[in-house]
Amino acid sequence: RVEGIPWTVEPLTWSRALLELMVPRGRIVVGNRTVARSPKCRVFGHTAPGEYFHRSSEAQTVRNRVLKACGIHGTRRRKVEGTPLVRVLYMPRMGIALQSGAKRNFAGGHELVDRLARALPSARIRTTPTPGGQVPLCEQVSLWNSADLILTPNGAHFVNSPFMHEGSVLIEGVPWGMRKYVGQLKITRFSTIAHRRLHSSRPPPSAALRPWAKVVSESACEKAELCRRTYRDHADIHTSLAALLKLLGSLRPNPLFGARLDGVEA
């Protein structure tokens, strides 16, 4: 049976590939809202923002199908002088195709990564910008699956997080004013990864934020959607190595295979 899948706009390469993978006999119908009345048309029910999977079995089915289709299998961890190698991926937001452009990044991100490398001797750190929406599905999934630890600001690219390998760690950079937004946490709630959030410690300076200069607290900004979105899309995330190491050191059991964090109890 061939089913129609209504899609109001031309789907991104990632979205089209996932739809074709999960509904192989489906037919994506773009821009025609009336087709939804057809009995042969599959209509996806509306869910609350951030709801991705209703059940663990659904998340596992999607994960298994995608990994198999992309030819991704588990790989053995190498060791450096007897210590398990930790593959760290720093993924800054870059590119005009992103909703916020190159904004919503870690302030002093490269310095933060350099200091992390010194604190985590067994780490092999690489920097790869977030892939744009036209990058093929398997290429994006393979990138996320290749790391033991990913450090990246939150955003739409988190749709790839369920495909990280089991036991890996995802550190989500959260802009000031978005402490209560948990959309990305819902993506990974049925996964086997350790997903933790690293919050911006203060409101960052920016010309675009001047109208909100009198906002007295982060919670006050969160209550005003325009304030929250302005900080999200025009400001960097201010944090510290100490905060990052504390977050990593708090993981129990530590999924980084016993990796040593200088100055932090493992």
Interval 17-55: pLDDT, tens: 999 888 888 888 887 555 545 444 444 444 454 567 888
pLDDT of residue 97: 46
Record the tokens describing residue 141, joined without a space.
């999934």
Q: Which residue has the tokens 């989500």?
A: 172
Q: Which ranges of the chain have pLDDT less than 50?
A: 36, 38-47, 49, 96-97, 100, 257, 262-266
At residue 215, φ and ψ (nearest 5 deg) are -65, 125
Dist CA 198 CA 244 (whole Å): 7
Dist CA 37 CA 221 (whole Å): 42
pLDDT of residue 165: 92
Measured at the CA of 148, the angle between CA 146 and CA 152, to 5 degrees, comes to 85
CB atoms within 10 A of CB 214: 7
pLDDT of residue 39: 43
pLDDT of residue 173: 94
Measured at the CA of 107, the angle between CA 199 and CA 234, to 5 degrees, comes to 80
Dist CA 169 CA 48 (whole Å): 26
Q: End-to-end CA distance of the chain: give it in Å, rounded.
A: 54
pLDDT of residue 119: 86
* Interior/surface letters 10-49, b for 16+ CB within 10 angstroms, e for the rest: ebbbbbbbbbbbeeeebeebeeeeebeeeeebeeeeeeee
Dist CA 76 CA 122 (whole Å): 16
pLDDT of residue 197: 95
pLDDT of residue 26: 83
pLDDT of residue 257: 46
Q: Which domains, from first to last, does the chain contain?
A: 3-69 (no CATH), 79-249 (3.40.50)
pLDDT of residue 37: 52
Please state the three-class secondary structure of the chain as a single string.
CCEEEEECCCCCHHHHHHHHHHCCCEEEEECCHHHHHCCCECCCCCCCCCCCCCCHHHHHHHHHHHHHHCCCCCCCCCEECCEECEEEEECCCCCCCCCCCCCCCECCHHHHHHHHHHHCCCEEEEECCCCCCCCCHHHHHHHHHCCCEEEEECCHHHHHHHHCCCCCEEEEEECCCCCCCCHHHHHCCCCCCEEEEEECCCCCCCHHHHHHCCCCCHHHHHCCHHHHHHHHHHCCECCCHHHHHHHHHCCCCCCCCCCCCCCCCC
pLDDT of residue 43: 43
The predicted model scores a pTM of: 0.83
